[in-house]
Amino acid sequence: MKKLLLFFLIICGSFSLFAQKGTKERIKIHSQALEGNLIGDPADRNVTVYLPPSYFSNPEKRFPVLYMLHGFTDTDSQWFGWEDHWINLQNVIEQSLAEGLSKEMIVVMPNAYNRFKGSMYASSATIGDWETFVTQELVSYIDKNYRTIPNRNSRGLAGHSMGGYGTLRLGMKNPDIYAAIYALSPCCMDGTASTNPELMEKLEGLTPDQLQETSFFEIAALATSAAFAPNPQNPPLYLDLPAKDGEPQEEVINKIIANRTLNYVDQHILSLKKLKAIAIDAGLQDRGISEATKKLHELLESYQIPHFYESYEGDHLNRIAERIQTKALPFFSENLAF
């Protein structure tokens, strides 16, 4: 009898794990908003779509959608395990489901990797209108082609690092599109623009063919200028740098600083109040980002905007998978309409 019971438990456990498996597909979506960008990035964008376990077994059921934004230099392919990376989001989602921490939802991630290794989820003539692509075109396509619950109460937006920045940027501008947002270790929230003479001199002479050879800080400076200081009269990169010929360019610096989250969030307080739920977190060892995230938390508190905030032991990467599994996915499971 004990052997039969043990066998039954093993079978049930195995079935439970099997039942938690969803599917993923990588599709291509054409974006009118990205057409004609000056740097020549394709307007056909890869997007990974994760469909939860019961999507095919229960063909009448509709699901909320979580839009996830990856970080700088990353891609949707890396995040969803199409190639080896420091995270596999499908595994994270399914582990959270298996542990009963979250509910089934569709998860969508667009590929925001471009010539500059990251779009900042911004809009400029140089890189294209990423804000419109993510918040309108992508959402419209997913609602038309998948069994979503097509209203803002069933849409969430989350992201890590550059994706966390994009989450705050797009979320506070589009409370009619998303009901809840969660920014994990959001970058680029404060600070100025580098005018280091050696760095600027090197960047001034680069061509599009040389962008892949740049260091992280070099390409990050270029990506920032491409997003926030575009210049259609300045080929071949069509951007302005914070310094030129060894001299700081205050107008360019001001454009970049104006797009730091903490410098414009006050203008979006009423929109933030329209969101059903807001969450931000960062690891204590992710020093500058942790400090900036705390400042945002304190600012939201000053405006009496309810939100979840946590500063935890960790760096920029080492606990992100765990945070998504145990914090972000449960957060959306609680705050989206199912």
CATH number of the domain that 172 lies in? 3.40.50.1820
Strands 180-184 and 155-160 come out as parallel
Mean pLDDT of the chain: 94
Among the ranges given (140-144, 169-173, 192-196, 309-313), the one the predictor scored with the smallest mean pLDDT: 192-196
DSSP string, 276-337: SEEEEEEETTSHHHHHHHHHHHHHHHHTT---EEEEES--SSTTHHHHIIIIIHHHHHHHS-
Whether residues 157 and 39 share a domain: the answer is: yes
Whether residues 222 and 312 share a domain: the answer is: no
Whether residues 137 and 229 share a domain: the answer is: no
Residue 3 has pLDDT above 90, yes or no: no
Mean pLDDT of 256-264: 98
Whether residues 209 and 313 share a domain: the answer is: no
Split into its structural domains, the chain has a count of 2
Whether residues 326 and 270 share a domain: the answer is: yes
Task: Note whether residue 307 is domain-resident.
Answer: yes
Q: How high is the pLDDT of residue 148? A: 98
Whether residues 91 and 203 share a domain: the answer is: no
* Each residue's pLDDT tens digit, 18-47: 446 999 999 999 999 999 999 999 999 999
Whether residues 240 and 291 share a domain: the answer is: no
- Higher per-residue confidence, 1 vs 61: 61
Whether residues 107 and 151 share a domain: the answer is: yes
- For 167-185, the three-class secondary structure string (H helix, E strand, C coil) is HHHHHHHCCCCCCEEEEEC
Whether residues 159 and 213 share a domain: the answer is: no
Q: How high is the pLDDT of residue 20? A: 67
* Each residue's pLDDT tens digit, 189-224: 999 999 999 999 999 999 999 999 999 999 999 999
Note the pTM of the prediction, 2 decimals.
0.93
Whether residues 39 and 138 share a domain: the answer is: yes
Domain housing 232: 197-256
Residue 12 has pLDDT above 90, yes or no: no
Q: How high is the pLDDT of residue 108? A: 99
Whether residues 239 and 171 share a domain: the answer is: no
Q: Say which residues have a Cβ less than 8 Å from residue 246's Cβ, sequence separation at least 6.
A: 197, 200, 201
Query: Of the candidates 256, 271, 302, which is a domain's last residue?
Result: 256
Query: Of the candidates 256, 277, 296, which is a domain's last residue?
Result: 256
Task: Note whether residue 12 is domain-resident.
Answer: no
